[in-house]
Structure 1
Amino acid sequence: MGFFNTVCTSTVKLTGKTAIITGCNTGIGKVTAQDFYKRGARVIMACRNQEKATKAAQDIKQKCEHEGTCNLGELIVDELDLSSLKSIRQFTKKIIDRESRIDILVNNGGVMTCPESKTEDGFEMQFGTNHLGHFLLTILLLPKIVHRNFESSDPSRIVTVSSVAHERGTMNFEDLNWEKRKYSAIGAYGQSKLANILFTKELARRLKEANINNVTTYSLHPGVIATELGRHMKDTYGVIATFVWGMLKWLLKTPEQGAQTTIYCSVDEKCKHESGLYYAECNVKTPTKLAQNQEDAERLWTESLKLVGLPENFDPFRGDTSS
């Protein structure tokens, strides 16, 4: 069911275009993959669990064939674990070597309010996966995104799924990994989603500064959705919280409803020249003041480079440290 369910009405086709979607074996990511596939795109499903991703791809194909959809695209399943810098580097190398172009990158995957834990590289799980994982992925893919070879004037798009939960977040640059304070699952999630918006804002600024006009960036709130993101609720908050979550599910959006703003930012012509903004219900929205803080956006970029092991003078548009 859910409230405020705006629908992306764009009929744009994606024939001949390549899209990468992270964490799309379920939920809004799977719906987004299906939408792009129906529009004719070559869709790379970048997922940690290969078995589930392969099953999701089969489900999408069967559903589209049953509906009689014509001019379908292609679905490719590739392994990507956003909580592992090694996995991200292996994935991006494969993509850069194999693919001739990247037209759409949807940073969709993530974790929500999970119990306190660390990534493979020692980062707080939510910040490490939701922000740092997508930060490194995007940075390493940017040369391919920027220098794709095609004749269309449409810009390539980088879409990052954030959340209204960013309103509960603050950027604690002295303790990004929650090692000096009592852990808060909600606080850590809010920080990671705030980081998504700040990253999008700073990336747009740097693209403009570099006179790169063929790439646009978007962050968004998809709505409160009944998906597997709530699977950690019991472990983090107990049985009562799980019961309340279950009781409220009828008020939440379906994955189909929740995917609409992601799809809008990825394909709709109305926003193709907008960049660095935050969206909800297929419209530009104003995030919190903290999410508009330019100093924080620049500092987050610098700190993120350090954390993922890239030098401060790393050029994301060329993939090197040349000045």
Structure 2
Amino acid sequence: MLADGRHAELADRTILITGSTGGIGKATALGLATMGARVLITGRDRGRTEDAAREIRAVGGGVEVFIADLSSQSEVRRLADEVLQRHPRLDVLVNNVGGYWNTRHVTADGLEHTFALNHLAPFLLTNLLLERLKQSDTARVVTVSSNAHSMGFIDFDDLQGERSYSGARAYNQSKLANVLFTYELARRLQGTSVTANAVHPGLVSTAFGADDPGRAQRLFVPVLRPFMKSPAKGAATSIHLASATDLGHVSGLYFAKSKATTSSKRSYDESVAARLWEVSTDLVGLTTPAATS
């Protein structure tokens, strides 16, 4: 640790954190900035994103703002282009952005919103930034999933919920997709300087899902809220994975409470992961080989 309280290993690190205007994302950005990293934060609303940046600057953190609605693939591509143009170095990508919608919504690309934002956005952004990450001596991709993934199933016959939609089912599927993506990414990145791991943040008290809550959320969240983690505690595992020196070469794992743990049986199905990768590649229009060493 440096004399000013910063961590030496983060003093020259640049970290991009998506969905950083509130909740776990903002807490992750605050924590890493306080440790000395330069954080790049994203949000849909400029006012909220600038407010988050002011909070980070108030604790002495270095921060840069990027505005993008990551449910839109053109916005994901624009964000990647801006990051690449403005930063010759990128050391960590924290795929934190996500959401829950009880009713089915369609994005500007004609895709179901939950799948588009929670899975396709991190899939596309990661692939667009991989070459820059590979230029770092030790780079990391941290993707925020959830234990809800254990209830998920990848329905290749109805990925977009066109025939049958449930907010919970769509969310659980997207969180399983996060873990499958992480494991497949780690396999494809073997032999490179980039690691990939997934995170379960725990039950955290945020405004998550408040725009379109389901019946269970309306009934149970008020009861459970006093027992939920604070955003700072929910961000602890993401911060640990982004910063811990002993994790520099640890890849392809699922973490909860800052420790590696076992994910669901379905998440280890390599054939499903490979198929999901190919389907996702088509859905986001990647024309070059994705995440190959």
Q: Give the residue type in structure 1 aligned to 2:154.
A: M
Quote how far apart the aligned CAs of 1:82 are.
1.2
1:18 aligns with 2:14: yes
**Matching residue of 2:100:** 112
Between Structure 1 and Structure 2, how many residues are aligned? 288
Matched, 1:204 2:204: no
* Mapped partners of 1:241, 1:17: distance in 2: 38
The residue that corresponds to 2:41 in the other structure is 45
Q: Deviations over 1:232-256 (max 9, x none)?
A: 4xx4434x74243112101111101
**Structure 1 residues 12 and 159 mapped into 2: Cα distance closer, same or farther (>3 Å)?**
farther
Query: Which residue is equivalent to 2:199?
Result: 220
SS in 2 for 1:123: coil
* Larger RCO, structure (CA 8 Å, separation 6 or more): 1
| Superposed displacement of residue 80, structure 1 | 2.0
Give how far 1:271 is off. Answer: 2.1
Pick the structure with greater CA Rg.
1
Per-residue Cα deviation, 1:260-314 (whole angstroms, up to 9, x for no partner): 1111111112322110110101111111111010001111110000000123x52
Other-structure match for 1:292: 268
Shift of 1:74: 1.2
The partner residue of 2:151 within 158, 165, 168 is 168
- Structure 2 stretches of 5 or more lacking a match? 1-5
Partners of 1:287 and 1:191 lie apart in 2 by 14
Whether the aligned pair in 1 keeps the contact of 2:9 and 2:245 (CA below 8 Å) is no
**Conserved 8 A contact 1:222-1:258:** yes
Deviation at 1:116, TM superposition (A): 1.1
* Structure-2 separation of matches of 1:241 and 1:174: 28
1:120 Cα deviation from its structure 2 partner: 1.3
Give the TM-score normalised by structure 2. Answer: 0.93
Amino acid at match of 2:152: G
What letter is aligned with 1:195? A
- Contact 1:140–1:316 under 8 Å retained in 2: no
Equivalence for 1:237: 214
Following superposition, the deviation at residue 225 of structure 1 comes to 0.6
Q: Deviations over 1:72-104 (max 9, x none)?
A: 441111112110001011111111122111001
Aligned residue among 249, 261, 275 for 2:237 = 261
* Contact 1:80–1:88 (Cα < 8 Å) also in 2: yes
Deviation of the 1:316 alpha carbon: 3.7
In the other structure, the counterpart of 1:146 is 134
Offset from partner CA, 1:206-260 (integer Å, 9 cap, x none): 111xx31x1111101000111111314xx4434x742431121011111011011
Residues 146, 317 of structure 1: 8 Å contact kept: no
- 1:126-137 maps to which residues of 2 (within 5 A)? 126-137=114-125
8 A Cα contact 2:17 2:93, kept in partner: yes
Which residue in 1 is equivalent to 2:75?
Answer: 87
Counterpart code for 1:277: L
Distance 1:115 1:273, change over 3 A: same
Structure 2: distance between partners of 1:309 and 1:228 = 32
Q: Which residue of 2 aligns with 1:125?
A: 113
In structure 2, C-alpha distance between the alignment counterparts of 1:159 and 1:241, rounded to whole Å:
27
What residue in structure 2 maps to residue 27 of structure 1?
A: 23
Alpha-carbon RMSD across the aligned residues, in angstroms, is 1.7
Distance 2:47 2:213 in 1: 26
Which secondary structure state, in structure 1, belongs to the residue aligned with residue 254 of structure 2? strand
TM-score (ref. length: structure 1): 0.85
Q: What secondary structure does 1:229 align onto?
A: coil
- Is the 2:167–2:214 contact (alpha carbons within 8 Å) kept by the matching residues of 1? no
What's the counterpart of residue 3 of structure 2?
A: none
SS where residue 50 of structure 2 aligns? helix
- Rounded to whole Å, the distance in 2 between the matches of 1:98 and 1:114 is 37
Partner secondary structure for residue 260 of structure 2: strand
Match of 2:15, SS state, is strand
Amino acid at match of 2:249: H
1:36 to 10, 32, 35: 32
3-state SS in 2 of match to 1:30: helix
Confirm or deny: 8 A CA contact 1:18 1:43 kept in the other structure: yes
